[in-house]
Structure 1
Amino acid sequence: MNIEQLRNYCLSKKGVTEDFPFDQDTLVFKVLGKMFVLASLKKWEQGEASINLKADPEYSEELRVNYNSIRPGFHMSKKHWNTLYLHEDELHPQLVKELIDHSYNMVIKGLAKKLRDTLS
Structure 2
Amino acid sequence: MDGETLQETARTRAEELPAVELTRPFGPEHDVAKVVGKMFLLLTEVRGRPIVVLKADPRDSEALRQAHPDITPGYHMNKRHWITLEPGEDLDEEMIRELVTESYLLVVERLPRAKRPVDPATVGPRPDGSSAS
Q: TM-score range by the shorter chain?
A: 0.7 to 0.9
Counterpart position of 1:14: 18
Q: Secondary structure at the match of 1:91?
A: coil
Identity %: 35
| TM-score using structure 1 length | 0.87
Number of the residue aligned with 2:28: 24
Shift of 1:32: 1.0
Q: Greater helix percent: which structure?
A: 1
Q: Which residue of 2 aligns with 1:37?
A: 41
| RMSD between superposed Cα atoms in Å | 1.7
Counterpart residue number, 2:111: 111
Unaligned regions of 5+ residues in structure 2, if any? 120-133
Q: How does 1:42-81 map to 2 (within 5 A)?
A: 43=45, 46=48, 48-81=49-82
Q: Which has the higher contact order (CA 8 A, sep 6+)?
A: 2
Contact 2:70 2:85 (8 Å CA) reproduced: yes
Alpha-carbon offset, residue 11 of structure 1: 1.0
User: Could you say what secondary structure the match of 2:26 adopts?
Assistant: coil
State the Cα distance separating 1:8 from its structure 2 match: 2.5
Is the Cα contact below 8 Å between 2:21 and 2:35 reproduced in 1? yes
